[in-house]
Amino acid sequence: MKPTNFAQLLTRFLSRYLPGQRNVSVHTIQSYRDTFALLLRFCRDRKSWHPDQVTLQHLDRRCLEEFLDWLEHDRHCGVATRNQRLAAVHAFFRYVQYEAPEQLAPSQEILGIPFKRTAHPTVGYLTPDALQALLAQPDRSTAEGRRDAALLTLLYDTGARVQELIDLMVRNVRIEAPAVVTLTGKGRKTRQVPLMTPTVRLVADYLTERRLLQPERLDHPVFYNSQRHKLTRAGVTYVLDKYVQQARSRTPVDFPPRVTPHVLRHTKAMHLVQADVNLIYIRDLLGHSHITTTEVYARADAERKRQALAQATRVTSVEESHSDWTESPDLMKWLRQICAPAP
């Protein structure tokens, strides 16, 4: 059977264009692949179109809007997930515009599908006391506890994304002065992050104990499981959740309702903001492309301070005005009255 125009373009998009021309990460390609797998499932279940029959002509704006509604209502995906899937669809049809110019008009209609607005979630992070309580939980008398202590400490100290930590190889860790780790983040961008002295000692002891400093093990993952495979996201989340639960049960310190590996990244950023570290440095440490992404931590810290001041200030010296403009037939007179200087 001859492949459809959609099958041909999607294959080239995922296997050639994204890795070859855009140089995007494997994880991004997998995310895009999953989007189109869901789209084909939608076409099969809702439209009765077999995957090998779907063409670009089938995938018009109306069809894709129905697909997005299906994600939200049938699969119960949140707005953020819907927007993520739409971003993959947009990326594909931007590619289609150049590869199939006859599809220019339908592609532009699809590119006009807007993203849904979503409320920005509150930045969750640990207080210094909560962080200290968490890092004290691993039992350092055991090999597993020493590994977990090094993992959690390095995750916090570097502000790494969980995938960056998972992908970390021994050659990416320099324990000699100046001690740094080289992280590879989104878009395969690398950055060097300095390590604090306590972290250096902890990581150096861990690498020495596991015999990972031998030349033949430079390309071995720093953190791995019993099968000597690098840890997964689920594995790191499991380790973190185990010690969060221990800390909650053993200490009176308050923790956020949900503590994920990314919360440790937020924690590092917030602690740097609270220490008055320049946002440019924080941006570079976290690997943000734009300073506007980093500014969310400064705004969160400002909001925290505002709430603290509001809670501490019980009495105000400013008398509240009970004047109501609806009580005055003359709006301009009311404005002059309420804005007049105090006698």
Q: Any idea which residues carry the catalytic annotation?
A: 161, 186, 262, 265, 288, 297
Token couple for 179: 């001690």
Q: Report the percentage of the chain scoring pLDDT > 90.
A: 67
Which residues, at least 6 apart from 133, have a Cβ–Cβ distance to it below 8 Å?
A: 247, 250, 251, 253
| pLDDT value of position 213 | 92
In this prediction, residues 58-71 reach a mean pLDDT of: 96
Band (154; pLDDT cuts 50, 70, 90): very high
Question: CATH top-level class for 5-111?
Answer: mainly alpha
- For 219-238, the pLDDT digits (tens) are 999 999 888 899 999 999 99
Q: CA-CA distance, 200 to 184, in Å (whole number)? A: 19
pLDDT-derived band of residue 339, with 50, 70 and 90 as boundaries?
low
**Prediction pTM value:** 0.68
Decide: 152 and 243 in contact? Cβ < 8 Å.
yes
| CA dist., res. 17 & res. 10, Å (int) | 10
Nearest residue to 223 (alpha-carbon basis) of 263, 261, 193: 261
CA 235 to chain centre: 17
Report yes or no: 53 and 3 within 8 Å, Cβ to Cβ: no
Confidence of residue 202 (pLDDT cuts 50, 70, 90): very high
pLDDT at position 302, please? 63
What pLDDT is recorded for position 300?
A: 67
Look at strands 173-174 and 190-194 and give their pairing.
Answer: unpaired
Evaluate the CA torsion angle 188, 189, 192, 193 in order and state its sign. negative
Which CATH code is given to the segment(s) 128-310?
Answer: 1.10.443.10
Mean pLDDT (whole number) for 102-120: 90
What tokens does 267 get? 């924690």
Q: Are 214 and 229 in contact (CB under 8 A)?
A: no
Residue 298: other Cβ atoms inside 10 A: 16
What DSSP state is assigned to residue 287? Answer: T
The residue ranges of every structural domain in the chain are: 5-111, 128-310
Task: Name the percent of the chain lying above pLDDT 70.
Answer: 85
Q: Is 96 exposed, middle or buried (0-12, 13-18, 19+ CB in 10 A)?
A: buried
Q: Which of 183-187, 207-211, 258-262 has the weakest average pLDDT? A: 183-187
Ramachandran assignment for 77, one of left (phi > 0), alpha (psi -120 to 50 degrees), beta (any other): beta
DSSP for 135-192, please give it. HT-S-TTSHHHHHHHHHHHHHHHHT--HHHHHT-BGGGEE-SSSPEEEEE-GGG-EEE
Is the pLDDT confidence value at 170 over 50?
A: yes
Looking at per-residue confidence, does 296 or 39 come out higher? 39
